[in-house]
Amino acid sequence: MTTQHEPDSAEAVEKAISGALKMIPYGFHALTSKHGKEMNVMVLNWFSQVSFEPQHIVIGLQQTSTTYGLVEASGHFVVNIFHQAEADVVKQFSKSREKNPQKFEGAHWQPAPVTGVPVLDEAAAFLECEVAGELDTGAGHSVILGRVVGGGVRASHDPGEGLTLPHVGWSYSG
């Protein structure tokens, strides 16, 4: 007798997809932005390099965020990369600007050399990016393609020592 494979229920597939997505080991970064005198910082994990020459990165960005408006208006943003020791610094920026209007006042920063976008003092490294493209996912987030136009390393560390979501025990996926 042959055993017939029962197709998984839609619910089981949905659960499996969510479980697989939650297994992606994300970094935990901060995205800074500036338009005119307005500045902001938000936490970011949907971030990756996607080309070498020239160097591009992508971020997944919520369209209702304050950051999205600033990035759209200015065409620039900075990704701040941290050592694990700075977990508490990054965590303090996890609420939206709407829920925490004073959020940026807690940031210590200097303007980045090329774009003038804030770079957080505690960042081990940073990448200055110019918006090179946008793909609307139709699901509330856009994929923003950034051409890397500047950057710096303040305190080099092994990638394994970098701040990650598994390190802080948080998740933003699924």
Contact footprint for ligand FMN (CB under 6 A): 40, 42-46, 60-62, 65-67, 94, 96-98, 141, 165, 170, 172
Cβ 53 to ligand FMN shortest distance, Å: 26
Q: Which is nearer to ligand FMN, 61 or 148 (CB)?
A: 61
The answer to whether 104 and 92 are in contact (CB under 8 A) is no
Q: Which is nearer to ligand FMN, 5 or 108 (CB)?
A: 108
Q: What values do phi and psi take at 114, rounded to 5?
A: -90, -50
Q: Which is nearer to ligand FMN, 55 or 96 (CB)?
A: 96
5-24: string of b/e by CB count within 10 Å (b at 16+)? Answer: eeeeeeeeeeeeeeeeeeee
The answer to whether 106 and 122 are in contact (CB under 8 A) is no
Cβ 150 to ligand FMN shortest distance, Å: 21
Task: Give which of 29, 20, 64, 74 is closest to 47, Cα–Cα.
Answer: 29
Beta strands in the chain (DSSP E): 29-35, 38-44, 47-51, 56-62, 76-81, 109-111, 118-120, 125-136, 141-153
| Residue whose CB is nearest to ligand FMN in the complex, by number | 96
Cβ 8 to ligand FMN shortest distance, Å: 29
DSSP string, 108-126: -EEE-TTT--EEETT-SEE
Q: Which is nearer to ligand FMN, 7 or 25 (CB)?
A: 25
Cβ 55 to ligand FMN shortest distance, Å: 20
Q: Which is nearer to ligand FMN, 39 or 148 (CB)?
A: 39
Cβ 24 to ligand FMN shortest distance, Å: 12
